[in-house]
């Protein structure tokens, strides 16, 4: 499938003036030409249809109400978009034949107006407002006859998510949808403007209701090879590549695009024939001559069949992290949690966002692949605002994807709307029947997130493996059959209770959790599993607690655990836990003797006591210099932590 070439640079060549644009102050507003001088737009469309392209794009790239407002044309947004689509529609129909249908892609471009910094004063527009703006533009394009929507040249993945959300809301309202082709622009280093790499882009977009994923603008095709190869190897959706005719050279104040038709067609033919790219076309600087060669080359070859290797992943605004790590598990740092850390609670109350960021960074330095973020404070009633702030701060400050941990719907929604990646929502359950899943799963779906499902139902926390599976099965069926989620989007938490009480009722709870993990994985193919590992040792402290957590984690991974919520600095590899310590911990975990808890406490008691309380340790770490923290990490035998800190120290 071949899309057309450049609209903007083609119009520039015509050197139109105030007469054609309708007024001196509108010179340069190409979107307005569809009303003031449609012959120019028609000419460009015809020039590409003549050389055989399959799809023409409407002249509406900057046609959102927000961009048109810069020309004083906000109130004409609907008219301009509808007219532009109708114009392209008429021409596409004129050129269409039974063996060569022609299509119209309604073009949506960026506004760049989302706050992509943690500074709320830069917040010009919210996610929902932006979604509404694009819904309006998309509605007019569809009304004018567009066959599909192309969202292109996107530089901020959060803005792209807002566009897709807006289109989704529109489709629900209309009761019908058209395909969405979502395209981002990468620099020569393969990243979007704010640092998002191609794997993060794919992970984020593939979980959203889009139909084609691709790249356009930015550079010429030669710089796109690696990201295009990545998409071709991993994307289950069709891939589009619509490059500029090279990186423009500035010749006497004029942008000159250097790639010649033959060279460009050669590169694109390679993408199709060797990599299996489904859609090509031209962006800035591409002329009918370029497209003529591209059509010729591409129609003469057969596209390579792709066998994409899909990797279910979370993503931050920078990179993707596979949900299935090798070696497992994916470590979710637990400390950025107002409920689980006094240090973080204090920082949140003081609105010390940098302090919270520092805790997050330490978790990542200590080995966390993702961060659980919980800002629920009984002292404050503004969890949604607080999570927005913290998510923004962490989104810019750490590369690890976020797990949004909240029981408040509004907080989950705000967290997702502020996040430029693919988050994991923590969590849903059936404690009050279907209410929570009905509130949260639509948000998960709209934002393309993944979701933790706790094995809790109306009867409470499931205690046996059998009940854990039954609850998981119920949530799985609701999520997949009613809310359009895929099994891979679900992360089941088989939940364990603490073994520290010694109560008869709970002595088998670790065994049941391990068994539950295995049963869930076996019965529900494709789903993932998670566990709050520290729960098993709640009430214990110090060295013994870390041993119990580490040994339990090892067995959970053996049972099929994919993700573990832990303090990564305290996890020790099983192989490094001495045999006698393992044995005492395993006796407790596997409920091997009535006095297993007493023995555990007797064995670790004094060693635990000699350790600082955990909270104090965290406090101490927060006040340390980089050098002191390196020393601390060495003491705790965290090689990764030492390396990360060394980088910091040498900066």
Please say which residue, 172 or 607, places its beta carbon nearer to ligand THG.
607
Sorted by sequence, the CB contacts under 8 Å of residue 346 that are 6+ apart come out as none
- Least CB distance from residue 472 to ligand THG, whole Å? 13
DSSP annotation string for 403-437: EEE-S-HHHHHHHHHT-SSB-EEEEE--TTTTHHH
The contact pattern for ligand THG, residues 317-336, with x = CB under 6 A and - = no contact, is: -----------------x--
Judged by CB under 6 A, the residue of 240, 341, 389, 498 near ligand THG is 341
Gap between the Cα atoms of 542 and 546, Å rounded: 7
In the bound state, the residue with its beta carbon closest to ligand THG is 532
Helices 198-206 and 225-234, interaxial angle, to 10°? Answer: 40
Q: Does the footprint of ligand THG cover residue 363 (CB under 6 A)?
A: no
Contacts of 247 (CB under 8 A, 6+ apart): 188, 219, 220, 223, 258
User: Please, which residue, 162 or 403, has the CB nearer to ligand THG?
Assistant: 403
CB of 559 to ligand THG, least distance (A): 16
For residues 230 and 419, which CB has a smaller minimum distance to ligand THG in the complex?
419
Token reading at 97: 């034949």
Tell which positions 455-494 bind ligand THG, by CB under 6 A.
Answer: 493
Which span (253-261, 341-349, 390-398, 510-518) binds ligand THG, by CB under 6 A? Answer: 341-349
Conformation bin of residue 178: beta by default, left when phi > 0, alpha when psi is -120 to 50: beta
Q: How far apart are CA 258 and CA 457, in angstroms?
A: 63
Candidate list 452, 499, 588, 589; residue touching ligand THG; CB under 6 A: 452
Ramachandran sector of residue 285 (left: φ over 0; alpha: ψ -120 to 50; beta: rest): left
Q: What are phi and psi of 144, to 5 degrees?
A: -80, -10
Could you tell me the two tokens for 396? 């810019």
Task: Tell me how far, at minimum, the Cβ of 517 lies from ligand THG, in Å.
Answer: 13
Taking the complex as a whole, the smallest distance from the CB of residue 73 to ligand THG amounts, in Å, to: 49
Q: Quote the tokens at residue 513.
A: 């959790």
From candidates 46, 225, 303, 342, binder to ligand THG by CB under 6 A: 342
Minimum Å distance from CB 185 to ligand THG?
A: 37
Structure tokens, 461: 């926390």
Which of 252/460 has CB closer to ligand THG?
460
Tokens 């949808």 belong to which residue? 177
Q: Which 8-state DSSP code applies to residue 181?
A: E
- Classify the C-alpha dihedral 249-251-254-258 as positive or negative: negative
Residue carrying the six token digits 């393992």: 582
The 10 Å Cβ neighbour count of residue 644 is 20
Exposed/middle/buried for residue 433 (C-beta within 10 Å: 0-12, 13-18, 19+): exposed
The smaller minimum CB distance to ligand THG, of residues 508 and 541, is found at 541
Contact residues for 483 (Cβ-Cβ < 8 A; gap 6+): 437, 441, 442, 444, 445
Convert residues 514-543 into a mask of x (bound to ligand THG by CB under 6 A) and - (unbound): ----------------x-x-xx--------
List the one residue from 337, 363, 393, 509 that touches ligand THG (CB under 6 A): 337
- For residues 195 and 487, which CB has a smaller minimum distance to ligand THG in the complex? 487
- Give the residue with the Cβ less far from ligand THG, 217 or 565: 565
Pair 272, 304: CB distance under 8 Å = yes
Look up residue 540 and give its DSSP letter: B
- Chain positions 594 to 623 lying near ligand THG, rule: CB under 6 A, are 614-615, 618
CA distance 403 to 370: 7
**Residue 488 has which token pair?**
């891979």
> Least separation, in Å, of the C-beta of 440 and ligand THG?
13
* Identity of the residue, 265 or 565, whose beta carbon is nearer to ligand THG in the bound complex: 565
Q: Which of 128, 129, 106, 131 is nearest to 181 (CA)?
A: 106
From the list 83, 118, 183, 427, which residue makes contact with ligand THG (rule: CB under 6 A)? 427
Q: Of residues 372-391, which lie at the interface with ligand THG (CB under 6 A)?
A: 372
Nearer to ligand THG by Cβ, of 292 and 452: the residue is 452
Binder of ligand THG out of 213, 343, 348, 513 (CB under 6 A): 343
Which CB sits closer to ligand THG, 235 or 427? 427
Window contacting ligand THG (CB under 6 A); options: 9-17, 213-221, 232-240, 340-348: 340-348
**Closer to ligand THG at the Cβ: 80 or 531?**
531
Nearer to ligand THG, 195 or 340 (CB): 340
- Beta carbon of residue 338, minimum distance to ligand THG (angstroms, whole number): 10
Q: Quick one: which of 59, 118, 12 has its CA closest to 398?
A: 118
In the bound state with ligand THG, the residue whose beta carbon lies nearer, of 87 and 376, is 376
Q: Report, in Å, the least distance between residue 573 CB and ligand THG.
A: 20
In angstroms, give the least distance from the CB of 400 to ligand THG: 16
**156: contact with ligand THG by CB under 6 A:** no
- Among 90, 340, 397, 608, indicate the residue that binds ligand THG (CB under 6 A): 340
Of residues 347 and 422, the one with the C-beta less far from ligand THG: 347
Q: Name which of 127 and 554 has its Cβ closer to ligand THG.
A: 554
Could you tell me where the beta strands, DSSP code E, fall in 246-363? Answer: 249-251, 254-256, 279-280, 313-315, 320-322, 330-333
> Phi and psi (nearest 5°) for 251?
-115, 100
Sheet holding 55-57, edge to edge: 55-57, 103-108, 148-154, 180-184, 212-216, 239-242, 279-280
Give the total of residues touching ligand THG (CB under 6 A).
20
In the numeric block, the tokens 């391990």 are attached to 514
- The nearest distance, CB 473 to ligand THG, in angstroms, is 18
User: What torsion, rounded to 10 degrees, do the Cα atoms 189, 190, 193, 196 define?
Assistant: -130
Which chain residues interact with ligand THG by CB under 6 A?
334, 337, 340-343, 372, 405, 426-427, 452, 493, 530, 532, 534-535, 565, 614-615, 618
């Amino acid at each position: 499938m071949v899309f057309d070439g450049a609209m903007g640079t083609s119009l520039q060549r015509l050197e139109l003036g105030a007469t054609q644009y309708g007024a001196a102050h509108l010179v340069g507003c190409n979107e307005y030409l569809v009303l003031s001088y449609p012959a120019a737009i028609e000419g460009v469309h015809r020039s590409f249809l003549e050389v055989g392209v399959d799809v023409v794009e409407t002249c509406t790239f900057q046609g959102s109400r927000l961009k048109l407002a810069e020309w004083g044309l906000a109130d004409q947004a609907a008219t301009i978009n509808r007219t532009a689509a109708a114009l392209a529609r008429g021409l596409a129909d004129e050129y269409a034949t039974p063996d060569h249908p022609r299509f119209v892609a309604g073009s949506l471009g960026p506004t760049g107006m989302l706050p992509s910094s943690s500074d709320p004063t830069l917040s010009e527009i919210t996610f929902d407002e932006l979604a509404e703006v694009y819904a309006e533009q998309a509605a007019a394009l569809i009304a004018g006859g567009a066959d599909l929507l192309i969202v292109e040249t996107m530089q901020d993945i959060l803005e792209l998510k807002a566009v897709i959300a807006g289109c989704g809301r529109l489709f629900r309202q209309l009761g019908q949808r058209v395909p969405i082709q979502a395209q981002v622009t990468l620099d020569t280093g393969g990243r979007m403007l704010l640092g998002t790499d191609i794997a993060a882009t794919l992970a984020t977009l593939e979980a959203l209701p889009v139909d084609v994923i691709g790249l356009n603008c930015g550079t010429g095709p030669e710089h796109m090879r690696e990201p295009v190869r990545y998409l071709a190897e991993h994307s289950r959706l069709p891939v589009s590549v619509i490059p500029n005719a090279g990186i423009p050279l500035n010749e006497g104040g004029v942008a000159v695009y250097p790639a010649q038709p033959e060279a460009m067609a050669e590169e694109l033919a390679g993408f199709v024939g060797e990599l299996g790219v489904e859609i090509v076309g031209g962006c800035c600087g591409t002329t009918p001559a370029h497209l003529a060669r591209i059509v010729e080359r591409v129609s003469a070859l057969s596209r390579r069949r792709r066998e994409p290797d899909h990797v279910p992943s979370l993503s931050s605004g920078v990179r993707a992290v596979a949900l299935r790590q090798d070696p497992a598990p994916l470590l979710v740092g637990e400390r950025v949690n107002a409920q689980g850390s006094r240090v973080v609670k204090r920082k949140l109350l003081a609105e010390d966002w940098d302090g919270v960021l520092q805790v997050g960074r330490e978790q990542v330095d200590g080995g966390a692949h993702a961060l659980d973020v919980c800002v629920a404070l009984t002292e404050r009633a503004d969890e949604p605002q607080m999570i927005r702030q913290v998510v923004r701060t962490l989104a810019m400050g750490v590369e690890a994807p976020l797990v949004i941990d909240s029981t408040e719907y509004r907080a989950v929604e705000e967290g997702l709307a502020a996040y430029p990646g693919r988050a994991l929502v923590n969590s849903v359950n059936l404690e009050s029947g279907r209410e929570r899943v009905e509130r949260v799963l639509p948000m998960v779906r709209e934002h393309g997130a993944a979701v933790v499902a706790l094995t809790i139902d109306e009867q409470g926390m499931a205690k046996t493996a059998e009940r854990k599976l039954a609850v998981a099965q119920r949530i799985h069926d609701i999520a997949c059959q009613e809310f359009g989620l895929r099994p891979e989007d679900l992360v089941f938490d088989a939940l364990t209770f603490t073994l520290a009480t010694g109560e008869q009722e709970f002595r088998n709870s670790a065994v049941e959790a391990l068994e539950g993990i295995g049963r869930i994985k076996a019965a529900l193919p494709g789903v993932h599993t998670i566990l709050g590992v520290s729960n098993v040792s709640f009430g214990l402290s110090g060295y013994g607690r870390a041993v119990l957590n580490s040994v339990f984690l090892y067995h959970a991974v053996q049972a099929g655990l994919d993700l573990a919520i832990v303090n990564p600095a305290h996890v020790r590899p099983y192989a490094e836990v001495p045999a006698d310590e393992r044995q005492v911990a395993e006796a407790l975990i596997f409920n091997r003797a009535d006095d297993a808890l007493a023995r555990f406490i007797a064995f670790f008691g004094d060693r635990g006591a000699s350790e600082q309380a955990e909270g104090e340790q965290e406090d101490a770490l927060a006040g340390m210099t980089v050098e002191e923290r390196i020393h601390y990490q060495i003491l705790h035998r965290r090689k990764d932590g030492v390396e990360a800190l060394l980088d910091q120290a040498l900066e």
